[in-house]
Amino acid sequence: MKNRTKLPNIYIGVVTAVLYLPIVLVIIYSFNESKISSVWGGFSLKWYETLFRDAAMFEALGNSIVLALCASLGAAVIGTLGAYGFTKVQLRTKSAVEYVSMLPIMIPEIILGMVFMTFFALVGLPFGMTTLILAHTAFCVPYVYMLVKARLVGMDKSLAEAARDLGAGEVRVFFDITLPLLVPAILSGMLLSFAMSLDDVIISIFVTGVNVNTLPIKVYTQIKTGVTPEINALCTLMLGATIILVVLSNVLGKVGKPRTGKQHKETAERSAAPVPAQPQ
Amino acid sequence: MKAAATPLKKKKKQSGVWLTLLPLYLFTLVFVAGPLVYMFVLSFQTRAEVWGVVNQFTLDNYKNIFQPVYLNTFVESFKLALTSTLLICAIGYPFGYFMAKLPAQWKKRVMLLLMIPFWTSSLIRLYGWIIIFRANGTLDKLLMGLGLTDGPLKLLYTYPAVVVGMVYALLQFMILAVYSSAEKMDWSLVEAARDLGATPLKAFLTVTLKLTLPGLLSGVILTFIPSMGLFFIADILGGNKVVLVGSLIQDQLMKAHNWPFAAALSVVLMILTSLMISLYKRVTHTTELEGIL
């Protein structure tokens, strides 16, 4: 098929440019001397200085990183073991448990937030870091689980069999053969979890305690109450971190796979499946 | 299958493997199933006078939804979601479709360009729109500079601003869903249709659209459902003028402290969600999905 016109390329270019417009503006205005963002007062780094002196902001950043680390580690353990276990054991409850454990990325975040908040209140868990970690782990498990499961399906079973034939026990086979082969999938699952956790506003708002701020919550309340260019500076730095992460994930080896979504990835994957159908 | 052949030996080995499932089972049961079940229970309970919940069965929470104020929120939120989703289809479908036709090298580049905003905090990206929409912001400056408008438009805190925010926040889901569908499509089918005398439009409607329908539909689900719940977009770009179902749930939880009502609202939203997903499954299953696996 030949492209007779340049129209499609122009279209892609224009839409992509619009996607980047708000981001570019945020970056530009972070270097703005003037406090009013509609006026350009000359180049300045003073908002970065303000930002670096903002202890509360750093505390929120620290909380967010700890939270994202804990949630993605927890999800890595639960998701990897679960996906592995299901390939070994045939249980009648498998599809039900699989379905329920995937729910956190299928149902709207607002429901998840509501559900966690009321449940934690019911069982009397004090709101704070613990509740944040539990809630974030819940929506991170599906990412790790799905990526590891996909890897397990495509894995060469003969390696594990060979190890078993040579006398290795199940545990040894898992740690020596299976786990190393799964590492890329686990890492990409964790990376995705980390990014999702770091970006989450809705669920965090519901399950956080009075004294615990995460970075997105802090940014959200700041944006709501009044705009300071300090936020621009923060956003620029976060953007830089994001770009490093994306590049890193590409280096890690096709880790940042295209079809990675906050919501229901299975649908997207399923959607790809039926396409190369029989011609009839 | 092989396990069945040597049941005794395998069974003993498997007993350890059971343990690997334990974390997933426990976590899912306690922290996913548990809270969801509690939501259903809560939605039938009665709100206590001052604070908390009384364990007394009632259907009032569901009846409450039909009060004009709340029903209106549902309708308005639905309309907003519909508007956003239609716009997302209109912008995202051609993008995903054209992208699938790009040469391999360019596919990668465009994908990378899409991934960066995708991984960027949604708050940052929304914040950029505040700069654009604000009175005397970028857009006003541009339009006044071009002589198209006389004064500032004051677009921030309006309905259109919220729609733009929704479209912007969710567009990538549609693009990626359509792209993954179109990418795997067998383009020779389109050529065959053309060779057999179909006009480009007809070939598109009967072949391309049909084959990319699963992608389009999953894109619709991925955008429609969240756009009923993303209250912070309505909050940031719409002020308090646009109220979503999500905003309503949040208000009931945090401000009115009417948890049973919030639970009932969530149950309804959840039912809507699962209806859409099962509808999607039925539609895609009925379109020649059977013969593949």
| Residue A37, pLDDT score | 61
Whether the CB of B145 is below 8 Å from some CB of chain A: the reply is no
What is the pLDDT, as a whole number, of residue B12?
A: 46
How confident is the model over B259-272, as a mean pLDDT? 93
Q: Is the pLDDT of residue B76 over 50?
A: yes
The distance of B150 to chain A (nearest Cα, Å) reads 17
Percent of chain B scored above 90 by pLDDT? 34
Helix B122-133 crosses helix B231-238 at what angle (to 10 degrees)?
Answer: 20
- Assign A263 a pLDDT band (cuts: 50, 70, 90): very low
The whole-chain average pLDDT of chain A stands at: 83
Q: pTM for the complete prediction?
A: 0.83
| Mean pLDDT of the region A40-50 | 83
Architecture of domain B68-286: Orthogonal Bundle (1.10)
Residues of chain A in contact with residue B128, where contact means CB-CB under 8 angstroms, are: 21-26
Which of A12-21, A157-166, B183-192 has the highest mean predicted lDDT (pLDDT)? A12-21
The alpha-carbon gap from A23 to the nearest alpha carbon of chain B, in Å, equals 6
How far is residue B240's CA from residue B222's CA, in Å, rounded to a whole number? 25
Largest CA distance in chain B: 85
pLDDT of B93 reads 95
Residue B2 neighbours by CB distance under 10 Å: 6
Task: Please indicate whether, in this complex, the C-beta atoms of A270 and B137 are within 8 angstroms of each other.
Answer: no
Inter-chain residue contact A267 with B222, CB threshold 8 Å: yes
CA–CA distance, A37 with A47 (Å, rounded to integer)? 12
Stretch 150-209 of chain A: residues touching chain B, C-beta under 8 Å: 170-171, 195, 198-199, 201-202, 205-206
Chain B residues closer than 8 Å to A227 by CB: 130
For position B181, what pLDDT does the model report?
Answer: 86
Stretch 44-83 of chain A: residues touching chain B, C-beta under 8 Å: 77-79, 81-82
Q: Buried b vs exposed e over B242-268: b needs ≥16 C-beta within 10 Å?
A: bbbbbbbbbbbbeeebbbbbbbbbbbb
Contact B185, A276 (CB under 8 A): yes
Residue-level pLDDT at A4: 58
Look at residue B88 in the predicted model and tell me its pLDDT.
96
Selected residue of B9, B77, B119 to mutate for chain A interface (largest A Cβ count, 10 A): B119
**Cβ separation B114–A29 shorter than 8 A:** no
pLDDT at A79: 95
Q: How far apart are CA B173 and CA B91, in angstroms?
A: 12
Residues paired with residue B46 on neighbouring β-strands, in sequence order: B54
Domains recognised in chain A with CATH numbers: 53-227 (1.10.3720.10)
For residues B166 and B230, what is the distance between their CA atoms, to the nearest angstrom? Answer: 8
Query: pLDDT tens, B45-68?
Result: 998 877 778 888 889 899 989 999
Which among A108, A170, A269 has CB closest to B228? A108
The answer for B 43-62 residues in CB contact with A (under 8 A) is none
pLDDT higher than 60, residue A56: yes
pLDDT at A275: 30
Report the phi/psi class of residue A183: left, alpha or beta, with left for phi > 0 and alpha for psi in -120 to 50.
alpha
Beta carbons within 8 Å of A131's beta carbon, 6+ residues apart: A116, A120, A125, A207, A208, A209
Contact B216, B152 (CB under 8 A): no
More confident residue, A219 or B16: A219
Q: Which helix or strand (DSSP H or E) is residue B288 part of?
A: none
| ipTM summary value | 0.82
Q: For the beta carbon of residue B87, count every other beta carbon within 10 angstroms.
A: 18
The predicted pLDDT at position A138 comes to 95
What's the pLDDT tens digit per position in B206-221?
A: 888 888 888 888 888 8
pLDDT tens-digit profile of B26-41? 999 999 999 999 999 9
Residue of chain B whose Cα is closest to the Cα of A5: B98
Three-state secondary-structure class, residue B52:
coil
What's residue A227's pLDDT?
65
Confidence check: pLDDT of B271 > 60: yes
**To 10 degrees, the CA torsion angle through B132, B135, B139, B140?**
-170
Mean pLDDT of chain B: 84
Q: What is the mean pLDDT of residues A73-85?
A: 95
What is the dihedral sign for C-alpha A149, A150, A152, A153?
positive
**How would you class A56 by CB atoms within 10 Å of its CB: exposed for 0-12, middle for 13-18, buried for 19 or more?**
exposed
What is the rounded average pLDDT of the residues B17-25? 88
* % of residues, chain A, pLDDT over 70: 86
CA B223 – CA B206 distance, rounded (Å): 25
A172-193 mean pLDDT: 89
Q: Could you tell me the sign of the dihedral formed by the alpha carbons of A166, A168, A174, A175, in that order?
A: negative
Q: Which of A50-59, A119-128, A156-165, A243-252 has the lowest mean pLDDT?
A: A243-252
Is a pLDDT exceeding 90 seen at residue B91? yes
The whole-number pLDDT of residue B285 equals 63
Q: Do the Cβ atoms of A258 and B179 come within 8 Å?
A: yes
> What's the pLDDT at A254?
53
